[in-house]
Amino acid sequence: MELFELTAHELKDLLDGKKASAVEIAQSVLARIESVEEKVGSYITVCKDEALKRAKEIQDKIDKGESVSLLGGIPMALKDNMCTEGIKTTCASKMLNNFVPPYNATVTRKLFDADTVLVGKLNMDEFAMGGSTENSYFKKTCNPWNLQRVPGGSSGGSAACVAAGEAVFSLGSDTGGSIRQPASFCGVVGLKPTYGSVSRYGLVAFASSLDQIGPLTKDVTDCALVMNAICGHDPMDSTSINESYPDFTKALINDVKGMKIGIPKEYIYGEGLNSEVKKAVLDAVEVLKKLGAQCEEFSLPITEYAIPAYYIISSAEASSNLARYDGVKYGYRAEKFTDLLDLYKQSRSEGFGTEVKRRIMLGTYALSSGYYDAYYKKALQVRTLIKNGFDEAFSKYDLVLGPTAPSTAYKIGEKVDDPLEMYLGDIFTVSVNIAGLPGLVIPCGFDGNKLPIGLQLIGKPLDESTLIRVGYTFEQNTEYHKLRAKI
């Protein structure tokens, strides 16, 4: 196997055994980018010179016998909504086309502290609004398993680059499924951590009560390693949970005997679930049963209200958060305008894409006088009911299991003109954000077109360890995670 095909923990073994250097690993990944990036389109910015310089610095540390972390020398990439000092951070928008942050996001700094090598910044749906990475100002990203298909979104670049070997791991952000759905479409592992467990400082906000940063990796072991590096309390983030976090690698145990797993009937028997996805999920349940887990179906009736509640809450928060882009302080500024009000209007009209404008208008409407109680307040009440529904489920089960998306990756252009159909694709993922829960997606099969299918595991707040344990056990007893996209 080529170096770029290996996992972070496999590369760490090579580094420790002096069988490869950090520079060679970085060169392998950069050569892979040069070879396939034109087809995949997962990067907005590639930091070739900086990556090689950084890899050499880390190799020098290793050669001197200095200690480096378990992720030391590993090439990684960041979704382009996480601030990187001195490197463009665009959110895939014309509005931030020329924005170079003067500081690093907390997750960026933590990964640098862990001696990782930043290879570049990744394509996404503009301001993380979308489910296909077709809403980027710069380019469309393609699915490495089939270049005519979408990689999912909004973290499509983050999933595609890992699936294509263009980074060993990446970070994405998840507001309503934006890590988990691309992970499912691209056949990689994706974790949306508990809200507040990973700092959002330096993440360009979409919906502040829902956004969460998390890893996309080639297997569950790498996922645990990255979580160890990025989670933890941050005084710079007012929503950060001040908690002592476990070593997630201690959850890498091949054993699920006696675990109680609940499967919502609404997830399996609801309308719109592709039959091949359903079969793959139920086959995965049988694997876990054979390994000693107790799996049973239960009802989560509040599921049908999750999509409308999510789109009202997220659009309202987006309307508020994106008000700062006014053409005055930073970002895109219209050249022709008559007065200050016209400057705002022209800058925002020209700077934002169609989907972003749609959601700003939806959110502004939901927050406006006379509609606030009918929409926004009602959505917050539904949010409480959704959280209560999960609390009740977790009084009986250790975790909840279901599909990630109703289908596998669809064709590029297939749904771009039908936003409602695109929104309905979030049916299995948005509840997790609404309730602030952790959700892990692992590959569990393929459809007739040889496209990956992802299994979603949903856990109790701050119980990522159980998800990692179950995901790891499933992985150790199946082969899906070993398969790589051939491009």
Over residues 430-441, the pLDDT tens digits come to 999 999 999 999
Q: Which residues of 8-40 are buried (b: 16+ CB within 10 A; e: fewer)?
A: bbbbbebbeeeebbbbbbbbbbbebbeebbeeb
**CA 435, 438, 444, 450 torsion-angle sign:** positive
Q: Which helix (H) or strand (E) holds 192?
A: strand 189-192
CATH of range 1-486; options 1.10.10.10, 3.90.550.10, 3.90.1300.10, 3.20.20.140: 3.90.1300.10
Instruction: State the first-to-last Cα distance of the chain, in angstroms, to the nearest integer.
Output: 15
Residue 367 burial (10 A CB sphere; 0-12, 13-18, 19+): middle
Sheet containing 75-79: which strands, arranged edge to edge?
43-46, 117-122, 75-79, 169-173, 213-217, 189-192, 439-446, 452-459, 399-403, 260-264, 294-298
The pLDDT assigned to 487 comes to 87
CA-to-CA dists, residue 425 to 23, 148, 307, 429, angstroms = 41, 19, 9, 9
pTM (global) more than 0.85: yes
> Could you list the active site residues?
79, 154, 178
Ranges in the chain, pLDDT < 50: none
Q: Which two tokens stand for residue 166?
A: 């263009």
Find the helix packing angle between 354-367 and 306-321, rounded to 10°.
100
pLDDT in the model for residue 210: 98
DSSP-derived pairing of the beta strands 399-403 and 260-264: parallel
The Cβ-side half-sphere exposure at 114, using a 13 Å CA radius, reads: 22
Task: Quick: pLDDT tens for 262-274.
Answer: 999 999 998 889 9
The residues, ordered by sequence, that sit 6+ positions from 235 with a Cβ below 8 Å of its Cβ are: none
Q: Where are the alpha helices (DSSP H) in 64-179?
A: 106-113, 156-163
pLDDT at 280: 98
DSSP letters, 298-320, are E--GGGGGHHHHHHHHHHHHHHH
276: which 2 tokens?
């091949």
